[in-house]
Amino acid sequence: MRCLYENTKARLIYRIFLSLIAVGSFVYTFLGFKPIMLYFTNWSAWYAIIMVFLTLAGTIKSYVSKDDSLLDNGIFKMFKFGAEIMIFATFVVSAFVLPDKIWTSGFWAPGSTFKHFLLPVFYILDGILCDKRNSYKIYYALTSLVIPIMYWVILVLRFLDHRKACGGAIPEDQWRRYYPYGFCNIDDGHTLTFLICLLAGIAAALTVTGVVLYFLNRKKSKK
């Protein structure tokens, strides 16, 4: 069976479908908890959405004029791969770590379904099914960690600075403004050491995920 990357028309149809999911996800990023800029899930969704539409533009260009210059660009492929890893992290954390896990009804609310399930699953499938074989580099597994690490460093420095200003602990009525997720709240039973170890574990798992995606991309399709 031919993979989508070998069929420009099928690839275009899939990516149009994915762009519709991206639109729904974009809307729901503004309808969730506030402040919206605080949440990793929103940043990962915005990143993936940008790449969805850039990829669609490149796919249209490929279909109409047989020009794959955007899709074959090394920097573009690296950022697209990075969005796959970041949105995968959103899916895993939302489905298995946060209170509304995948087996609860809260996970399947419309906003969560779009941001935490449909966008991650179909975006990752896009990379597996639609990207040309042998187009990934092994070091993408490491470069894809740069943006997530930047997010967490800024978040941690921000709440540590505010804790210092508050005399050592952030008041409970301000937690939502500084702690987007319960596991990062070091004023509610967790420690900074716990958080750092957890984030290091997540980074290691994402690196492994990146390596797996790299080898999936190199696997030759059966004719």
Q: What is the pLDDT along the chain (223 residues), one digit of tens a residue?
A: 456 778 889 999 999 999 999 999 999 999 877 788 999 999 999 999 999 999 999 999 999 999 999 999 999 999 999 999 999 999 998 888 877 788 888 889 998 899 999 999 999 999 999 999 999 999 999 999 999 999 999 999 999 999 999 998 999 999 999 999 988 999 998 899 999 999 999 999 999 999 999 999 987 655 4
Residue 89, token pair as written in the block: 């992290």
The per-residue pLDDT for 107 is: 87
Domain ranges for the chain: 4-218
The per-residue pLDDT for 74 is: 95
* Torsion sign, CA atoms 178, 182, 188, 194: negative
The per-residue pLDDT for 151 is: 96
Quick one: which H or E segment has residue 185?
none
Nearest to 95 by CA among 76, 77, 113: 113
Question: HSE on the CB side for 147, CA within 13 Å?
Answer: 22
The per-residue pLDDT for 4 is: 77
**Which residue stretches of the chain are H helix?**
8-29, 40-65, 74-96, 110-112, 119-130, 140-143, 146-165, 175-178, 192-218
The per-residue pLDDT for 2 is: 55
The per-residue pLDDT for 222 is: 53
The residues near 183 (Cβ < 8 Å, ≥ 6 apart) are 97, 190, 195, 198
The per-residue pLDDT for 1 is: 41
CA 157 vs CA 54, 76, 116, 137, 165: distances in Å: 32, 30, 26, 32, 12
Give residue 15's Cα distance to chain centre.
Answer: 17
Q: Is the pTM of this model over 0.75?
A: yes
Q: What angle do CA 44, 118, 133 make, to 5 degrees?
A: 80
